A and B are shown apart, each in its own frame.
Chain A
Amino acid sequence: MEYFLQQLINGLSLGALYALIAVGYTVVYGIVQLINFAHGEIFMIGAFGAYATWMILGQPTDWSTTMSLLVLLPAMLIGGMVASVTVALMTERFAYRPLRNAPRLAPLITAIGVSVFLQEFVRLFYGWVPGFPDAKSAIPFPSVPGLSGESLQFGEVLIQMPAVFTLAALAVCSVFLWYFVNRTKTGRAMVATSQDPDTARLMGINVDRVIMAAFALGAALAAIAGVAHGLRYGNIDFRMGFLAGLKAFTAAVLGGIGNIAGAVVGGLVLGVAEAMATSFIPGQFGSSAWKDVWAFALLILVLVFRPEGLLGAKVVDRA
């Protein structure tokens, strides 16, 4: 039982990470029907932005726990968000917007190009900033006193503090998202645009701005996920966006793409499924080397049996 609870907690915290990224896919897809393939790279840039903030703050290692949690961590989050939102808006403006009325294949291929470009850009040029480490191999992520290496103990169940941070971040973000979508003008404009862009435009909604807001929203959450990823695994790397992005997309499809609550649920389910697969599948196929295979197999199964996702009501088949 303890083992099961432990795995459940592990899965949930991993799933929270996926969920934070998946929101970005789902929001953008809901509005422009684009699989923003480069969203994984936005997540990676969020992490590198947070690292850059830490460098600019003078690489603090000996701050007190209170100072770190109240100043350092928020500063890193904001730095990461600034970086990821800027890059996301630039990709939207220069790569996707000119293709808004092109055949569907074109933006998807552009997204692959953007993804490769952003990865390589970070790999080649991150180390050019004076004092910054070379990004050609993994960079150790700064430890935040009070989070890194700490853990909570509930009976037999051990929860790492970064996992607590990820879950807390997801909880806060979910509340924020709910408020944003249901109670703010921009949020409601977003819902309207995703339901019917033409009518939304007629009602006086600036669709361009809504799309930019969608990209920015996704990027901000991805940056939080980037910091969470850095704290959880202890290092960041220019390739980290590929797999995480793919998993997050799986989560978005799992929950029903276009549906924000679905992305959160899908992320959590995917994380738990992955954790359970590695702990409860017997024999060689239960080893952690297979966990990605199980996650992707889940994606394919969902598409076969429930293409609209767990919570989704959107029509999937867009011919």
Chain B
Amino acid sequence: MNVIIPDDVKVRFRVPARIIGLVGCTLMIASIFMSWSYGHTVLDDVGYWGAPSPLQLYYAVLPVLGVLLLAVPLLGRGRLGRWAKLVAWNTSAKTCAIWSLAVTAVMIASIAIGLGGLVNVDPGGWVALAGALIAVASTLFLPDSPDPNLYRLKSPQWVQILAIVGVMAVLLFGAAYLLNFENADQFLTFGASVVGVVMVLRQFGIFSWLSIAAANNNRVLVTSAFVVAFAFPFTQNGSDANMSIASQVLIFAATALGLNIVVGLVGLLDLGYIAFLGAGAFTAAILSGSAFATIDWVPPFWLTVLIAGTVSSLLGLLIGAPTLRVSGDYLAIVTLAFGEIFRITMNNLDGNDGPNLTNGSNGISAIPDLNFFGFDFGKAHVIFGIDIGRFANYYWLMLVVIAIIIVVFMNLNYSRIGRGWVAIREDELAAEAMGVNTFALKLLAFAGGAFLAGVAGAVKAHYDVSVTPDQYVFLESAFLLAAVVLGGMGTVMGVLIGATILKLLPEKLRFFSDYRLLLFGLLMVIMMRFRPEGIIADERRQLEFHDEDDALAVEIQEEMRAKHVHLNPEPKEWDL
């Protein structure tokens, strides 16, 4: 949001702008003590005077942040000292004001839609809207701050570890809390405030500091992330609804991580990836001992997983060996065609149009739950007095699968193979000239990605109870690709976030389910246009997409240097 106001005007009016902005934020904070709506059925009943509802309290977080961001710089450069330069006060304040306005708009719209008309919005809502508008208008008059330099801040290790653990805890409880909203309006309001706060903190520079802290304490980060993910089922009190969503997210994420190797690291666009998931799922289903299975042999599950992965990767080799030589755009279409071949074939192997292997379009149903060394995944267990249901069992299993994928991914990323892959992605001819065996490496990525999808598919078959060909249509491949693109190609964190967004939002916002695909298509176009590197940008990738943006190159170089300085206490001359 860049309204063009001359810089000298901004500098002259910065103090009055701050004060007016403060008034706006104060109005918003004051509004939570007023009634927002005439009726009591929308949001979480915001129709009382003098008694803010929980949702209104969360709403106040953004304006309170705004007050801090606007008031502290009033102290003046002298008293702030180095903090004046370390933090992007003005830009953060602007972001804060804009997101406050967005959340206010969501709430007012929820009231108006939920109760039938803007008449039902009480004074509180209007006061908040006025406050937000004032805040936005006044922050536009603030001069742009330089980019935040918070990552320059040296901090003792225990502070860093504490910060990481704190973030993880917030993540756990925030996610658990967010998932518990049943109504779309509450979910949207809370979600928008959370995103707003995150955006403000990003502008503030906290994440660049955190990313350095994380790089410094990689083990702590990974361990605490898994502890948090592992602990998630315990926050659900045995409720299955959210666990079902969570395990679906994990299955989706595991597949997307596999695709991420192929697309994100090697730059091979695979549009038929879902077929490998399907191959794994069908293999596992056929070997599951279901009444509809066409093969009587029931191997133990660990063997099934290996067979499923192998079948998938063999298919990957079969399709990859001929097409990876021609490279380029052809691969996208050939994999797409392969995806269709797979689906049609699974449909036709019904004993009528071909030998009976898959029961055709009916698929294989009644797949029994997993039984792992006597541990029955279908049964609920009680751990620490909390019911852990069927979905939680699969959730944990998928967590282990994802952990393995992430470990593989990370190690590959920094290995000889991984660097070869990235070289192929950046410039295949140059890589080949440098002695990279491009064909073998591409084939390895293709088959490896297929193997991971096959493993995920094997679990998915048991989780879903039935496997049918129409679960594996092209659109699912497009969704996987979207998760990778949206989150950030080539990054683990980004893909996890992308997968979560793409699976979670449709579950929680059912009212827009009919427009889901429309928005999804639009989102892909807009992402490619404005942020092709995704939400979480891989640094190399970001540079690749913006190779004419020198400022960005300098910024990334700065950040990497800072990371390097942190990792090496006695820095010598160091250049990228």
Residues of A within 8 A of B (CB): 33, 35, 95, 98-99, 102-110, 112-121, 124, 242-243, 246, 249-250, 253, 284-285, 287, 289-290, 292-293, 296-297, 299-300, 303-304, 307, 316-319
Contact = CB atoms under 8 A, between A and B. Distances in A.
A302 to B, nearest CB: 10
16 contacts: A95-B525, A106-B545, A109-B481, A113-B524, A120-B521, A249-B333, A253-B330, A284-B352, A287-B353, A290-B354, A293-B344, A293-B348, A296-B341, A300-B319, A300-B323, A303-B323
Interface stretch (B244-252, B281-289, B510-518): B510-518
A103 B330 contact: no
Given A108-B269, A292-B344, A99 B334 contact: no
B348 A289 contact: yes
A293 B532 CA distance: 34
A297 B319 CA distance: 10
**B interface, how many residues as a size bin?**
35 or more
A253 B329 CA distance: 11
Given A296-B337, A297-B341, A116 B326 contact: no
B216 interface: no
Interface string B509-549: 00000110110111111001100100000000000110000
Contacts of A119: 517, 521
A293 B525 CA distance: 30
SS of A interface (majority): helix
Given A110-B524, A300-B322, A319-B327, A242 B334 contact: no
Interface string B331-358: 0111011101100110110001111000
A289 B353 contact: yes
B330 A303 contact: yes
Given A289-B348, A296-B340, A307-B326, A113 B334 contact: no
Nearest to A95: B525
A117 B347 contact: no
A249 B332 CA distance: 12
Contacts of A300: 319, 322-323, 334, 337-338
Interface string B364-392: 00000000000000000000000000000
Contacts of B485: 109
A247 to B, nearest CB: 9
B267 interface: yes
Contacts of B421: none
Contact of A112 (B347, B427, B478): B478
A117 B328 contact: no
B330 A307 contact: yes
Nearest to B337: A296
A152 B414 CA distance: 68
A187 B263 CA distance: 37
Interface string B397-410: 00000000000000
Contact of A296 (B267, B338, B432, B523): B338
A262 B528 CA distance: 32
A290 B518 contact: no
A121 B517 CA distance: 9
